[in-house]
A and B are shown apart, each in its own frame.
Chain A
Amino acid sequence: MSTVEDRSATTAQTGGNRVKRGMAEMLKGGVIMDVVTAEQARIAEDAGAVAVMALERVPADIRAQGGVSRMSDPDMIDSIIEAVSIPVMAKARIGHFVEAQVLQSLGVDYIDESEVLTPADFTNHIDKWKFTIPFVCGATNLGEALRRINEGAAMIRSKGEAGTGDVSNATMHMRKIRSEINRLSSMAEDELYVAAKELQAPYELVKEVASAGRLPVVLFTAGGIATPADAAMMMQLGADGVFVGSGIFKSGNPAERANAIVQATTFHDDPDTIAKVSRGLGEAMVGINVEEIPQPHRLAERGW
């Protein structure tokens, strides 16, 4: 820390890396819930969600209804911002930098450049350094996570397979990212150059991960989480927190299930508590087995 040379000039700075990544640090240990109405946002806040994700259709409906899926209506996002005091996130299509500009203008707290929406650019992701508000991006492996961080993502979520209620892909992606980090940590320094090439990620970031033993940003998990036990398993696998999409508001008793998932996330290492909160929740979302989804319809394979 250096002393300030010119006290007359303001030292205040918005949109810096520490403010962006720091925001995600404050969400750790928490649950971020997909909501499509102000009423759902209120239910999520009452349950103890650390943030809500405002979107037009939850992934299960996007999957069922098909068509092009885009950024939400600004009026709908406004109504959710108005309804709750917790942070509000919203999704932009991969590569759609104007949707991101609009979301920043609306004052959302985090943008999810998301594979759940239809990609707008099959080559480039958004240059996220240009924005004041931070971005979260999905990743299925370490190389993908580091490429997103290199583009300015301030938070990563493992992708899983959204809208299925099937947690198997989330498990696979968390384990994959974790094992690739462990592998880097065990390498000799002169092996990291080749590791960076293989990961298709910048050497500086690879080196940083190798020495810290974790990503330089917060790592949440997403995609298919439907029960308190699902959320707790993701935490035990090393997630810093959990996104729940269709799992809450496509279930029989959203308010109770939202409560239970929040509590199971905090007490993820306490089976007695998880058992207690898992009682009497009614129907979980019906779900789809990822294996039964034809390859072109798998959302996790969008983004690169």
Chain B
Amino acid sequence: MTSPSSAPFPVPGALSVALSDAAPTVAPEAAGSAGRTPRTGRDVVVGVLAVQGDVREHIATVESLGARAVPVRRASELAAIDGLILPGGESTTMDKLTRTFGLAGPLRGLIDGGLPVYGSCAGMILLSDVIADPSTDRHGNPQQTLGGLDIVVRRNAFGRQRESFEADLAFAGLAATGPAAGDDPVRAVFIRAPWVEKVGADVEVLAQVPAAETPQAGPSDAAPGADLEPVARIVAVRSGNLLATSFHPEVTGERRVHELFIRMIRGEA
């Protein structure tokens, strides 16, 4: 994983041999947002927000790909990371703990500054600019997010645990990401999962649950309680350095999504 090069952008053939043998290198202007130099000269360090959730699975997946992963619970630990994963768990719990322990502010600053961030499930909710149905506390204050990703998410949109499901999904852009790449569908595990209800102009949709795979139609803002025809639901998106999935690749042994994220950190995807 180490590379002798200190070039600011990937040089074909010189970098990240383990991750990018077969992959075409993207043009520099496509990589990440301006103002943040992609990490290329040494191993990347991926932080995993560790206030609550399936931290262990994300760490194991990152490490299986040869990168370093470290749990992050304090603002002082943020300086050492090149990218951050917001894991699955309870978004309300993570919201409260990141605010109580002074992490939310610094995290928002880093996201604004172009830090690559990947959120799965609750992590997608934390990354979203808007929650369609935020939880509200006893004093009427709505749940907050870190934001940065121009999407509207709906929590538990596919239903409760009884409706939680797994399904095969086509996922755009994984085929070219590295040695774990392939055209096989992603076996996606959805656990009380959110979906993306709206995306902004700069947000790329990477995967959807097709209508036929959608267990239930879900709620309608226009006509509450109405039975809707099942429609395809957006469950994976990317915008610049931010990546989010409604589902949990980390619990199935699926490594290609994390591989894509590590390549984003390296400025290679």
Asked whether, in the complex, the Cβ of A29 is within 8 Å of the Cβ of B55, the reply is: yes
**Does B39 sit at the interface, judged by CB under 8 A?**
no
Beta-carbon contacts under 8 Å, A92-124 to B: 104, 107-110
Q: Provide the A18-30 mask, 1 if CB < 8 A to any CB of B, else 0.
A: 1100110111111
Query: Are B50 and A12 closer than 8 Å at their CB atoms?
Result: no
Q: Say whether B56 faces chain A, with CB atoms less than 8 Å apart.
A: yes
Interface residues on A, range: 35 or more
B155-A104 in contact (CB<8A): no
Q: Say yes or no: is B168 at the interface (Cβ < 8 Å to chain A).
A: yes
Could you say which residues of chain A place their CB within 8 Å of the CB of B187? 1
Q: Is there a chain B Cβ closer than 8 Å to A50's Cβ? A: yes
Q: Are A50 and B90 in contact, CB atoms less than 8 angstroms apart?
A: yes
Which residues of chain B are within 8 angstroms of A86 by Cβ–Cβ distance?
90, 92-93, 135
Q: Is the CB of A109 within 8 A of B184?
A: no
Does B64 interact with chain A (Cβ within 8 Å)?
no
Contact B166 A18 (CB under 8 A): yes
State the Cβ distance, B69 to closest chain A Cβ, in Å. 16
Q: Compute how far the CA of A87 lies from the CA of B164 in the bound complex, rounded to whole angstroms.
A: 12
Q: Is B251 within 8 A of A12, CB to CB?
A: no
8 Å CB interface, B111-135 against A? 121-122, 133, 135
CB within 8 Å for A12 and B166 given contacts A85-B155, A107-B160, A109-B160 = yes
Which residues from A are CB-within-8-Å of B50?
29
- Measured between alpha carbons, how far is A132 from B215 in the docked complex, in Å? 14
Pair A267/B184 contact, Cβ less than 8 Å = no
Closest Cβ of chain A to B230, distance in Å, is 11
A14: CB under 8 A from chain B? yes
- The distance from the CB of A182 to the nearest CB of chain B, in whole angstroms, is 18
Q: Are B184 and A23 in contact (CB under 8 A)?
A: no
Counting CB contacts under 8 A, is B220 at the interface? no
Known contacts: A48-B96, A85-B135, A86-B92. The answer to whether A26 contacts B161 by CB under 8 A is: no
Contacts of A109 in B (CB 8 A): 160-162, 192
B3 CB-CB contact with A under 8 Å: no
Nearest A residue to B210 via CB reads A10
Q: Give chain A interface residues in 37-73, CB to chain B under 8 Å.
A: 42-43, 45-51
Decide if B24 is an interface residue (CB 8 Å cutoff): no
CA distance A263 to B97 in the complex (A): 7
> Shortest CB–CB separation between residue B87 and chain A, in angstroms?
8
B266 within 8 A of partner (CB): no
Question: A49 vs B56: C-alpha distance in the bound complex, in angstroms?
Answer: 20
Residues 161-188 of B, flagged 1 when their CB comes within 8 A of A and 0 if not, give: 1111111100000000000000111010
Bound together, the chains give a CA A28 to CA B94 distance in angstroms of: 12
Q: Is A26 a contact of B168 with CB atoms below 8 Å?
A: no
Closest to A241 in B: B52
B162–A50 contact, CB under 8 A? no
Whether B90 pairs with A26 at a CB distance below 8 angstroms is yes
**Interface presence of A3 (CB below 8 A):** yes
Do A262 and B161 have beta carbons less than 8 Å apart?
no
Q: Is A168 an interface residue (CB 8 A)?
A: no
Residues of A contacting B212 in the complex (Cβ-Cβ under 8 angstroms): 10
Q: Are A107 and B162 in contact (CB under 8 A)?
A: yes
Bound Cα distance from A45 to B213, whole angstroms: 32
Residue of A nearest to B161 (CB): A109
The reply on B242 being an interface residue by CB < 8 A is: no
CB distance from B118 to the nearest CB of A (A): 16
> In the docked arrangement, what's the CA distance between A85 and B252, Å?
26
A19, closest chain B residue (CB): B164
Residue contact B165 to A29, C-beta cutoff 8 Å: no
Note all chain B residues with C-beta closer than 8 A to A42: 137-138
A-contact 0/1 string along B49-87, CB 8 Å cutoff: 011111111000000000000000100000000000000
Chain B positions near chain A (C-beta within 8 angstroms): 50-57, 73, 88-90, 92-93, 96-97, 100-101, 121-122, 133, 135, 137-138, 155-156, 160-168, 183-185, 187, 189-192, 209, 212-215, 248, 251-252, 254
Could you list some 27 contacts between A and B, CB below 8 A? A2-B184, A4-B168, A4-B185, A10-B212, A12-B209, A19-B164, A19-B166, A19-B189, A19-B190, A23-B192, A25-B56, A26-B89, A26-B122, A28-B52, A28-B53, A28-B54, A29-B52, A45-B137, A47-B96, A48-B52, A49-B93, A50-B52, A51-B90, A85-B92, A104-B162, A109-B192, A267-B101
Q: Which 5 A-B pairs have the closest CB atoms?
A: A109-B161, A12-B167, A11-B168, A48-B96, A29-B52
